[in-house]
Homo-oligomer: A and B are copies of this chain.
Amino acid sequence: MQKIIIIGSGNVAFHLAKQFLNATDFDLIGYHSPHGINKSSDFYPTCYLSSQDVFNETDCVFIVAVNDDQVALAAKDLPASKLVVHTSGSLPWQVLPDSMRRGVLYPLQTFSKNRVVQFDQVPLFVETEFSEDLPLLKSLAKELSPIQYESTFELRQHLHVAAVFSCNFVNHCYAIAQKLCKEQSLPFDILRPLIEETAEKIKTLDPVQAQTGPAIRHDQKTIDRHLSLIDNPQWQLIYQEMSDSIQSLKFKV
Q: Which residues of A contact B (CB under 8 A)?
A: 11, 67-69, 90, 108-112, 114-115, 117-118, 121-123, 149, 155, 157-181, 183-184, 186, 190-208, 210-217, 219, 221-222, 225-226, 229-230, 234-235, 237-239, 241-242, 244-246, 248-249, 252-253
Contacts and interface: CB of A to CB of B under 8 A. Distances in A.
Contact of A159 (B122, B179, B184, B252): B184
A249 B158 contact: no
Given A112-B210, A162-B176, A196-B199, 8 more contacts: A67-B219, A160-B222, A164-B213, A168-B211, A168-B246, A172-B246, A176-B245, A234-B245
A198 B167 contact: yes
A143 to B, nearest CB: 17
Nearest to A205: B112
A101 to B, nearest CB: 25
A118 B239 CA distance: 28
Contacts of A200: 115
User: Could you say how many copies of this chain the assembly holds?
Assistant: 2
A198 B171 contact: yes
Main SS of the interface on chain A?
helix
Contact of A162 (B122, B169, B180): B180
A181 B159 contact: yes
B248 A234 contact: yes
Contacts of A213: 163-164, 167-168
A200 to B, nearest CB: 8
Contacts of A122: 193
Given A112-B201, A171-B202, A198-B166, A158 B69 contact: no
B68 A221 contact: yes
A249 B221 CA distance: 28
Contacts of A177: 162-163, 165-166, 207
Contacts of A242: 168-169, 172, 238
Given A171-B212, A172-B211, A196-B199, A184 B155 contact: yes
B110 A194 contact: yes
Given A123-B193, A174-B202, A157 B221 contact: no
Contacts of A159: 181, 184, 186, 190
Q: Which of A109, A170, A211, A215 has the most CB of B within 10 A?
A: A170
Contacts of A206: 178
